[in-house]
Structure 1
């Protein structure tokens, strides 16, 4: 009986202690200061405009209980916040230079209120080409209050729409890429934007075999619009689809039957083709969405020695085709990576890029490989080319 009483007493003391601790814990939590947006998401995006234009984002600094007196809270940029964010999300944001972001270093939650709205102003700037920027914010202190560890930080990422001039090509613009030596790739991703329109502006995809890319390599990699494989209900051949010939006929695949999944002339379309050498799997994405996959056999590598673009000649290349943002990666990009970066530039110096042709020069005959790897392209340089000027440079926004 004594033992039972002792246990009951002990349990009672423990319960009181637990309740006291719990009350103390609740008291601390009730008086913590935090960023309310961080309670539901670690980041938000603000879309910035042209260089010099200002954009604004708002965050709310909150207390769970109303302040009895004016309460000062300190707010600052903290690169460590962004470093942790990048690791968690597999991103590579850089900290925005301080001269391009402004917000109050001291936020006052007035007496009788539990919240103060903070305006963060971003001034758009050029920045390093292909680099994404963000403003990593941290509540660094508050009068008489603890800062929430989980919701005391917040990241504002800068979203910038891709706007550029893009060249318009015809059959006599057939071109070859500068290429020294052999590039051996166990994995690869080829991605680009394209827009097709006939010379009269009232149609497109006029003929089969309008070749975009023909790689010189140990395995075939030939990318074109159209082949004689699909027809409409009246037996008329349809060419408004993308076909990729690679690693033998069994691995060839396309964007789908145009009776069901037609590519539309006059519209910009993003394409990405990935190859995984370990499995032999190839996947085709259209506008960031997987549309087909195939397999060319495991344990293969591509040994590439050159590339010809728009080279199928006057018999087949009958439409105007505009192209932009051509990238060859030495990695198998994921669906998420393709969708995330298709409407923005990527970092020019990314070591996983074999070449990167933004095609944003706006004039001239040279399309520059911005990686520094030397894979530049001179318009019209192929044997069946000859015309070293594009048929136009038109500015577009990819959004």
Structure 2
């Protein structure tokens, strides 16, 4: 298990954002008396309730303002009774973490004469995958006493917060990159296709010369893209048999600096061509005509040339050989089962390192970036409360 040191700010600063564990700017405070204090931020909230995570360890750092004139013994203890006061101060609704889920192997420490600190206090968490991921839990750990040394009240307690893991924690920024697809699956004669992708951009409308952003497909054959010379740069356009759709200015543009889920259905068996935005049908016609082949020249993030890259982040790209229903699309923007019926390829773009993206279906349609590795972005989708 890895040990992480987390630094805590004063409880007096109740406006501090609960965004993980960061180093405190303790030097800006003035301690005129030599007092003991936790030299860390009061809230560590990066502990996740997730099926694959059964244990974790965190540590508490502490110190005194000036070197000790004699040995100082310090006592620490879990303080579940402080949960109510934590909720009141921070506006949370957390439940006290039960003793079954943690252990503090050493609750005493000694700062030796001439020192200002000693070894950290380690808190081990266990069986956390058994917690209810719809709830938040908190473990307060506090200094209960110190020999011959006063304790700074506002830096006395550390709070460890558990919350349900987001469905998506890492995404890829693929600006100026693209991914050629060397298919292992048979995509040579598809009567029905559903394409899904989760996108976020800060410059659909401005910020570069090219008016077209490529999502997925083949230039001149079957292509999902955003913008073009005849329409706003933030409007989805699909090149497909039956003509490009939707028409210019026929549908709302994609947002800026927000995640948006898009889904395209092409079904030659019914004639339907449909565009869903965030699970809502915003366009449909019955102009589908003929089968589609994705075998050669298919890319993510490129069409025609390398200047038509996707200006932003991408996740959850899925290719289906069935028509996904409106209900299926609306209910599953962030995750689907890799063995879902009709799922041909599933690129989550959540590797967090490198340039190769795994096909989660097991069909072997892994892809590798051209132009460098993606910039990996930590996210919380959907945002956890």
TM-score range, shorter chain: 0.5 to 0.7
Moved over 4 A (4+): 201-206
1:394 paired with 2:384, answer: no
Task: Name the SS for the 1:304 alignment partner.
Answer: coil
Equivalent residue number for residue 178 of structure 2: 174
- 1:331-350 matches, within 5 Å, as 331-343=322-334, 345-350=335-340
- Of residues 360, 363, 376, the one that matches 1:373 is 363
Structure with bigger gyration radius: 1
Query: Does structure 1 conserve the Cα–Cα contact (< 8 Å) formed by 2:351 and 2:357?
Result: yes
- Of residues 212, 215, 230, the one that matches 1:209 is 212
- 1:49-60 matches, within 5 Å, as 49-51=49-51
Equivalent residue number for residue 224 of structure 1: 225
Distance in 2 (alpha carbons) for counterparts of 1:285 and 1:248: 18
The answer to which structure has the higher helix fraction is 1
Equivalent residue number for residue 294 of structure 2: 304
Shift of 1:314: 4.9
Shift of 1:123: 6.1
Distance in 2 (alpha carbons) for counterparts of 1:274 and 1:342: 15
Deviations 1:142-168 (A, max 9, x none): xxxxxxxxxxxxxxxxx9742221111
Residues 124/186 of structure 1: CA separation in 2 closer, same or farther (3 Å cut)? farther
- Over aligned residue pairs, what C-alpha RMSD do you find? 3.7
Deviations 1:169-203 (A, max 9, x none): 122x22201214742322221101011124xx995
Unmatched tracts of structure 2, length 5 or more: 1-47, 55-126, 132-163
Residues 202/247 of structure 1: CA separation in 2 closer, same or farther (3 Å cut)? closer
Deviations 1:186-238 (A, max 9, x none): 2221101011124xx9955864221111238xx821111101223xxxxxxx3
Distance in 1 (alpha carbons) for counterparts of 2:313 and 2:236: 15
Task: Name the SS for the 1:331 alignment partner.
Answer: coil
How many corresponding residue pairs? 233
Residues 196/334 of structure 1: CA separation in 2 closer, same or farther (3 Å cut)? same
Equivalent residue number for residue 265 of structure 1: 256
Equivalent residue number for residue 197 of structure 1: 202
Distance in 1 (alpha carbons) for counterparts of 2:333 and 2:235: 20
Equivalent residue number for residue 34 of structure 1: none
Equivalent residue number for residue 326 of structure 1: 317
Distance in 1 (alpha carbons) for counterparts of 2:180 and 2:265: 22
Equivalent residue number for residue 163 of structure 1: 168
Equivalent residue number for residue 364 of structure 1: 354
Deviations 1:86-133 (A, max 9, x none): xxxxxxxxxxxxxxxxxxxxxxxxxxxxxxxxxxxx96469xxxxxxx
Shift of 1:269: 0.8
Unmatched tracts of structure 1, length 5 or more: 1-47, 54-121, 127-158, 231-237, 381-386
Task: Name the SS for the 1:241 alignment partner.
Answer: strand
Query: Does structure 2 conserve the Cα–Cα contact (< 8 Å) formed by 1:277 and 1:301?
Result: yes
